[in-house]
Amino acid sequence: MMSKSGSCGSCAFFDEHSAAAAAGHEGLCRFNPPVSQPTAEAHGLWPVVTEKDWCGHFAPETTAGAVAAE
């Protein structure tokens, strides 16, 4: 099992989106583009995750910050 330090809450791709956060300690995962666009007029959806979720794409915030600065 992954440690808490490797969870979404400390991942570079975790976005504390206000609407999602209003529903609890949740945010959006920005690793991939939006998915599952239901219709042509609808917005794509970002996966909603909690701070304690995790996945194999976890990246420490410091690592991604260094990449973004290039």
- Asked if 21 interacts with ligand SF4 (CB under 6 A), we say no
Q: Cβ(68)–Cβ(60) under 8 Å?
A: no
E-state strands within the chain: 14-15, 26-29, 48-50
Question: If binding means CB under 6 A, how many residues of this protein chain bind ligand SF4?
Answer: 12
Looking at 9-17, 18-26, 35-43, 60-68, which segment touches ligand SF4 (CB under 6 A)? Answer: 9-17
Residue closer to ligand SF4, measured from CB, 26 or 53: 53
Q: Cβ(51)–Cβ(25) under 8 Å?
A: yes
Residue closer to ligand SF4, measured from CB, 13 or 26: 13
Structure tokens at 17: 């989106």
- Asked if 8 interacts with ligand SF4 (CB under 6 A), we say yes
